[in-house]
Structure 1
Amino acid sequence: MRYYITLIFISLCFHAEAQEDYATLTQQALETMWKAKNEADYQEALDMYEKAFKIYPDSIDGTGLYKASVLASELKKYDKAFEYLVPLAKMKTDEDGYPGWSYIVGEYSESEYKNLLSDPRWDMLKLKAIIDKKEFYKELQENEDEFYNVAESHQTKVDKSRILFDEIKNYNPYIEKKHRDYSISFKINDSTKTSFFIHLPKKYNPEKKYALLVFLHGAVRNNALADFQNADSNLGDWNRYYTKYAEQNDVILVFPKGSKQYNWMAPDDGFFMIPEMIKQIKKAININDNKVFISGHSNGATGSFSYLMKQPIQFAGFYGFNTYPKVFTGGTFVENIKNRSFINFSTNEDYYYPPNANDDLAKLMHGINADYKEYRYNGFPHWFPKFDESEPAYQILFNDLINRNRNPFPKEISWEFDDEKYGSIDWLTDIKLDTLKPKANWHQNRNFKINKWLEYDENDSLIIKTVDKNAFDFPRKSGKIKAQYENNIFRIETSRISSFKIYISPEMINLDRKVKIYINGKLYFNKKVKYNAGFMLQSFEQNNDREQIWINCIGLKI
């Protein structure tokens, strides 16, 4: 409770003076409602809402109407309940993004308004809400269909492999979009779906390739999946600086919605969502495949770090605000960062992850020559993005984003994993484990101890707690592979690996010469590699990547 009350207090700083007073009064009313034990307490809370409505009629919001109507219903003041319910039901969306009809036909409506169900006015409101809901979803589907609409393409009918390569590289079926903002549904499984919200640049041009930034929200355990989202709940408040600098730099923003079960941190059930969403977006929008980025706050920042450790192929760079830098579903193999980069924005009053641990992580990262940067902001708590003083961090983020590009064909790769779902990195793919084999001498875990942690005591004071914990856990045996190529020669070192594949691009090798592959010093392959049209099409359909184009693959067993 302390956390949310503090956030509400901070949020008052972002409104005009009249709005501050209205917000203060309604917050007091809400707290009185929470603490209510009898009818007199409920009446006191309702009186406080009505006082706020009377003094600041231009500030009345959906949340206020909703809470006042619930209180009036509980007190069996039917006329007053409908006085607030009627304008609430007419709202297209309130300040939190909820459509008015959702208060009448929502999951908890009949329990919250149980005293109104026998009133004829409730039946009228419900009938209208059902109609509004149907229209709402119809419009949502029409917009989604329009978002995915592209020009007809004949690319898949090309027969000659060399021509097909050029066709894929120059593939552009994209057309103009009617809107800047879209709420897009996303299927998790046959019975579950969520959504992502996408915000386009002001003058989106389908002929131009755009950078894309995915933002992962925090508090995954306190969030629920949503089959629609809107601009108000994504583009302002905590995310206002993402919106501001994306606007200035023509960056597309994407906001997925996760939950306790399906998210980017733990468990692993929802980890597939973000890569799959990006693939779907690439079917509809002209994305620069070498400029796809991911950021987040709190649990979302941990998610960003987890994609860096487990599945970075699609991304050029990773960012996190108030990060807990750890993989919670397996081992944290920090050397995997050497394939990409990470920028961490931390604060010295963060209960989520202590500053001394961030210092030790930075030392570890610099010790392995990782592309890792740590920016510390002193005097701020975990909810740093809420403050105006966080703006310079976003300037750093977008400056890095604009200047950074993914190298789709890196000359060197180092990859460690303990789950074969994540046994792929760029041109090394489908790597299989053999944990019965002995571990190579160069295959070592990197870790450090954390002995101090910050937490709030019963007086809301931040104190230092003594702990004894490892920064990372390693619950399973892992495998590791190191690879490099130059002049048509690939040299691979493996530890606890049984097999893998090498994807080939003409931008990596000379196709007129033989390719040689050495594994642990032994020659395993010495042949020319040709274009394979079927493989090219299958690969492109799987990843929708026009920069990292594979023309064939070589399978190798050790």
Structure 2
Amino acid sequence: MRYYLTLGLTLLCFLVNGQENYSTLTQKALETMWKAKDETGYQKALTLYEDAFKIYPDSIDGTGLYKASVLASELKNYDKAFQYLIPLAAMKADEDGYPGWDYVIGESSKSEYKNLLDDPRWKTLVKSALRDKELFYRDLREIQDEFFRIKDYSFKEKEKAAVLYSKIKNSAPYLPKKQQNYSILFKVNDSTTTSYLVHLPKDYDPENKYPVLFFLHGAVRNNVLTDYQMPAENLGGWNRFYKKYADLNHVILVFPKGGKKYNWMTPDDGFFMIPEMLKQMKKAINVDDNKVFISGHSNGATGSFSYLMKQPGQFAGFYGFNTYPKVFTGGTFIENIKNRSFINFSTDQDYYYPPNANDDFTRLMEGIKADYKEERYNGFPHWFPQFDESEAAYNILFSDLKTRRRNPFPKEISWEYDDEKYGNADWLSDIRLDTLRSKAQWHKALNFKITKWMKYDEKDSLITEDVNKNAFDFPRKSGKVKAEYSGNIFKIETSCIQSLSILISPEMVDLDKKIKVFINGKLYFDKKIQYDRKLMLKNFENNRDRSQIWVNALYFKV
């Protein structure tokens, strides 16, 4: 009796604020469903959903219809299940971004609606859903084709070298876009696809260059790859402040979809995806090559940090909310951060990475004079972006993004790696390992111990336990290069390196003069060089970077 009295008072209080109260009531229904252990619990949850539908008929959404239809099916109330399922199946897309047909013929439909499968009404819904799915993908292909439509253009290899360089640098064959949001199908391999969502500024002008911010989602092992994404599932909820500040600052947002095997953290199978997605986008929209950034939360923040450690060349800066700063596919070569920057937004109640470890990590960053900043927010758990108080962090992120630019030709590079796939760093290229050699004295691993870790106990209380673990693992031998140039002189030091190439830009050196290259104190090269047109065109085709154009490559066996 007390339950229903409380419910009645709650409903009375909810009558004032419309949509907010519908959301609150359906959230209570969802929590009741999660806690339900038998049909009585399911019936209470269904009653809450139905009360919400009656009080707020104009607010009924796809998620509410979906949960109500599943509950009715579980309770074997077939008529009521179809009462909610039929309008749900007819929806083009609900607020979570799922078209109605997906509920009927999606991966989990047969298990969720197992009690309805023999009903003739189910067969009718399946037939309609298959037709709707076909129309949906037809429209999706047309939208994607429009996104990639550009002006005709071509480069002639026989063009004068300096003219060809200028044409590549200033190429902009872009057209206006009909939409603000585009879901783009992405081929992972011959049998696997996923997608990324592009959110353009409302006033997107193809004549202007725009910053780009990738957001990498967390919980990669619990996510599945999807062929399409709808705007609402990425632009609201926890990501609401990304949208708000991206729109205010005319930043293009990109939301890739990762899964258990193909993602940005572990394993390494999907790590190629973000650079490849960026390359695709540069073919279609006017991206500022020197203002491309990566951010993420949880596993996504670890992914952002991993690109900084393993493949930073195409990016200007990196951010992470509740970051675990470690490479999980190999060694964490922390001095690589000196080639770019990282801002970590941490909390003091985070089970994912403890505050004491963040303190030690920050001290390590200060010791190597890295461009690193940690912003600590006390009183918040791992899911910090859920809270309105997190808006201050987004202010910091976008303030940094506005002023930060990549230097495509840095004067100094420090690069360490243990996987041949990642032997590139700006103008250092195709570095090859020789780990049988002895390490140079300056080639040392940086690490620290973590002694405290936070976790939730069986009562869902956050406790701290003693641990004894290294911050980073080093499962393989690594090689390292320290390089710098001034004028036309390059000085390079190597450790456990077999060979490398130096990429040359006319914005780095004077091509009318000799270039000198010293490696480990020995003069390896002292000549003039010329433009290599094939290299220029091949390089542009590989990365679509108009700001970092290489006109020659000098190969050296160390």
Match of 1:400 in 2: 400
- Counterpart in 2 of 1:318? 318
Aligned match of 2:499: 499
Q: Tell me the equivalent position of 1:481.
A: 481
The letter of the residue matching 2:542 is Q
Instruction: Note if contact 1:208-1:286 (Cα within 8 Å) is conserved in structure 2.
Output: yes
Q: Is the 8 A contact 1:155 1:171 kept in 2?
A: no
Q: Secondary structure of 2:269's match? A: coil
- Matched with 2:190 is 190
CA contact (8 A) 1:156 1:537 kept: no
Q: How does 1:46-195 map to 2 (within 5 A)?
A: 46-156=46-156, 159-195=159-195
1:10 is matched with which residue? Answer: none
Give deviations 1:184-232, integer Å, cap 9, x for gaps.
0100000001000000011111110111000001111111111100110
Deviation at 1:18, TM superposition (A): 4.4
- Give how far 1:109 is off: 2.0
Q: Aligned partners of 2:333, 2:471: CA distance in 1, in Å?
A: 11
* TM-fit CA distance, 1:40: 4.5
| Structure 2 counterpart SS, 1:429 | strand
Quote the residue 1:12 is aligned against. none
* Aligned residue number for residue 419 of structure 1: 419
User: How many angstroms apart in 2 are the aligned matches of 1:223 and 1:127?
Assistant: 28
Q: Structure 1 residues 105, 501: CA separation in 2 closer, same or farther (over 3 Å shift)?
A: same
Q: Is the contact made by 2:157 and 2:533 (CA closer than 8 Å) also made in structure 1? A: no
Higher mean displacement: 347-356 or 148-157: 148-157
Deviations 1:515-555 (A, max 9, x none): 11111011111111100111110111011000000001011
Matches for 1:351-366 after TM superposition, within 5 Å: 351-366=351-366
* Segment drifting more, 193-202 vs 449-458: 449-458
Q: Kindly indicate whether residue 453 of structure 2 is the aligned counterpart of residue 453 of structure 1.
A: yes
State the SS of the aligned residue for 2:270.
Answer: coil
CA contact (8 A) 2:66 2:85 kept: yes
Mapping 1:266-277, distance limit 5 Å: 266-277=266-277
One-letter code aligned to 1:522: K
Q: Structure 1 residues 517, 359: CA separation in 2 closer, same or farther (over 3 Å shift)? A: same
AA aligned opposite 1:484? E
Q: Describe how 1:289-328 pairs up with structure 2 within 5 A.
A: 289-328=289-328
The 2-side partners of 1:293 and 1:268 are apart by 20
Question: What TM-score comes out, normalization by structure 2 length?
Answer: 0.95
Partner residue, 1:209 = 209
The whole-number CA distance in structure 1 between the counterparts of 2:28 and 2:180 is 37
Structure 2 Cα separation of the partners of residues 363 and 428 of structure 1: 29
Distance in 1, Cα, partners of 2:323 & 2:429: 29
Matches of 2:238 and 2:33 in 1, distance apart?
26
Stretch of structure 1 that moved more, 119-128 or 181-190: 119-128
2:492–2:520 Cα contact (<8 Å) kept: yes
Q: Which residue of 2 aligns with 1:429?
A: 429
Q: In the aligned structure 1, how far is the partner of 2:555 from the partner of 2:18?
A: 68
Match of 1:381 in 2: 381
TM-fit CA distance, 1:81: 1.6
Question: Alpha-carbon deviation of 1:459?
Answer: 2.5
Aligned partner of 2:515: which letter? V
Moved more, 296-305 or 72-81: 72-81
Determine helix, strand or coil for the equivalent of 1:89. helix
Task: Report the Cα distance in structure 2 between the residues aligned to 1:39 and 1:521, rounded to whole angstroms.
Answer: 78
Shift of 1:453: 1.1
Q: Distance between the aligned counterparts of 1:456 and 1:18, measured in 2?
A: 36
User: What percent of counterpart residues are identical?
Assistant: 69
Matched to 2:480, the amino acid is: K
Gaps of 5+ in 2: 1-14
Query: For 1:389, what is the secondary structure of its paired residue?
Result: helix
Provide Cα deviations, 1:461-511, integer angstroms capped at 9, x if missing partner.
222111111111111100000011112111110000000001000111111
1:544 aligns with 2:550: no
Q: In the aligned structure 2, how far is the partner of 1:382 from the partner of 1:38? A: 31
Return closer, same or farther for 1:246/1:18 CA change in 2, 3 Å cut-off: same
Q: Answer yes or no: is the 8 Å Cα contact 1:332–1:474 preserved in 2.
A: yes
Conserved in 1, the CA contact under 8 Å of 2:69 and 2:80?
yes
1:390-422 CA-to-partner distances (Å, cap 9, x unmatched) read 111111111111101100001111000000100
Pick which of 466-475 and 454-463 moved more.
Answer: 454-463
Distance (whole Å) between structure 2 residues aligned to residue 345 and residue 29 of structure 1: 33
User: Following the alignment from structure 1 to structure 2, what is the Cα–Cα distance between the partners of residues 45 and 245?
Assistant: 37
Aligned-partner residue type, residue 497 of structure 1? I
- Distance in 2 separating the partners of 1:414 and 1:115: 62
Mapped to 2, the partners of 1:192 and 1:99 lie a distance apart of 21
Deviation at residue 455 of structure 1 after TM alignment: 1.4
Correspondence for 1:11: none
Instruction: Render the CA deviation track for 1:342-378: whole Å, top value 9, x for unaligned.
Output: 1111111111111111111111111111101111111
Q: Residues 371 and 162 of structure 1: is their aligned pair in 2 closer, same or farther, counting only changes over 3 Å?
A: same
Query: CA 1:74–1:388 in structure 2 vs 1: closer, same or farther (change >3 Å)?
Result: closer
- Supply the AA of the counterpart residue of 1:178: K
Aligned to 2:4: none
Query: Aligned-pair distance for 1:110?
Result: 2.8
State the SS of the aligned residue for 1:155: coil
- Specify every segment of 5 or more residues in structure 1 that has no aligned partner in the other structure, as ranges: 1-14
Q: CA deviation at 1:54?
A: 2.4
Could you say if the C-alpha distance between residues 34 and 384 of structure 1 is closer, same or farther in structure 2, counting changes exceeding 3 Å?
Answer: closer
Deviations 1:3-54 (A, max 9, x none): xxxxxxxxxxxx9944454445434444444455554544444333323322
Q: CA deviation at 1:448?
A: 0.7
Whether the 8 Å CA contact 1:420–1:432 is kept in 2: the answer is yes
The answer (yes or no) to whether the contact 1:435–1:477 under 8 Å persists in 2 is: yes
**In 2 relative to 1, CA 402–109 (structure 1 residues): closer, same or farther, beyond 3 Å?**
same
Q: 1-side partners of 2:89 and 2:74: how far apart?
A: 18
> TM-score normalised to the size of structure 1?
0.95
Question: Equivalents in 1 of 2:191, 2:114: separation in Å?
Answer: 29
Alignment-derived partner of residue 9 in structure 1: none
